Every structure is written in structure tokens, then in C-alpha cells.
Amino acid sequence: MSAEPRRRSIAVAITGASGAIYATRTMAALLERGCHLEVIVSDYGRRLLRDELGETAAFDKLLPYLVSKYGPSVEAGTYTVHSNKDLGAKLASGSQDCEGMVVVPCSMKTLAGIAHGLSRTLVERAADVMLKERRNLIIVPRETPMSLPQLRNMVLCAEAGAHMMPAMPAFYQMPKTLDDLSDFMAGKILGALGFSHELYPSWGS
């Protein structure tokens, strides 16, 4: 009997920048593809989910929310939740088996911590591990306008090897809803992680 294929493992961090819908759509899309997610949500990330998506999207209710919004296919994947304060978690070590990590949305505070290698929280430390192990780190900052220190922090992250993917959805696909815009960003993230998808039409299709 052949062994069951190993699930692809991706770390997902949700911090306090506006854009909770990008986080939930990305999680749903990865779960639909049978991934195992190692999820970290900062204190302000938890507040963000409730403030922007409503009480039904509170973190302790997130899986039922994802199923109700995106359908039962999200149950193809699994996820484990980690405390952002747990610097002893496996995600803090280079021996962890996540092939990539996405911080979506990424607050400017978290961006600064990653840029300067501060590792004060599990989000920052896990991102630092991705950089030092030369694995795929995708950062989705959501802020405007941006100050010079914020822009410089983005450059530092890019120079260290991160994919900088600001939450800037396109409009050539003629989006009609907020979900269309979140599909675009989730599709960009999946593409950077090496997944094929049909979340938005390719240019010229």
C-alpha cells in the first residue's frame, strides 16, 4: 500500500493591520488545497478579525466561519494554532518543516520587527527563521501613506530575501465585490508559494 502524500505545511501569521479578509481568504485557499497551516495570530490580529469581519469570525470560531463563507472544501486541510508569546514553539526553530510563511496582513510594527531581526514574538521569530533558512517568506503590508522608516523597513526585508507583496489588488479583472479583491491577493500569495490557482483570470485571458 502506498504511503499517503505528505501535506504541504505553511505558516500563516495574522497581525493587526487592516485587511482581515485577505487573511481569511488566504487561509481558505490553502486549506482547500489540503495544506496544513501553522497559524499565529497576534492580539491585535484577533481584534482585527472581529472588528472587520464580525463576531462570527472571532478566532475561536474561525473554522466554522471559513466553511460558511468559502464552502466545505476548506475542511480538506488542517491547522494548528500557536500563541504569539510562545517563543519555545517549533516554529521558532530552523528544524520546523514549514516550507514557507505568509504574514497577512502585516502591521508596520511587525514589519519593523522582521526587518531588524528583533524576534520579540513568535511571528517575528518564525519570519526570522524563514529568512535564515532561505525559505519562502511573503509579507503583505497594509498601510497608506507610508513613512520613510516604513519604506526602508520594506527594503530591508526584501534585501534579506522576503517577497514584499503590498495589499494592492488589481482591477483589470473587473472586480465587482470585496471578495473579488481578496481573491486577487490570495491568488498572488498562492502563486508565490508555488500553487496553481484560478482565483483570478491571468492577464489577457
pLDDT tens, the chain, 205 aa long: 555 667 899 999 999 999 999 999 999 999 999 999 999 999 999 999 999 999 999 989 999 999 999 999 999 999 999 999 999 999 999 999 999 999 999 999 999 999 999 999 999 999 999 999 999 999 999 999 999 999 999 999 999 999 999 999 999 999 999 999 999 999 999 999 999 999 998 877 6
| CATH class of the domain comprising 9-192 | alpha beta
DSSP lists the bridge partners of residue 101 as 11, 137
Cell of 199: 482565483
pTM: 0.95
Q: In what order do the strands lie in the sheet with 163-164?
A: 78-82, 36-41, 9-14, 100-106, 136-141, 163-164
Q: Where are the domains of the chain?
A: 9-192
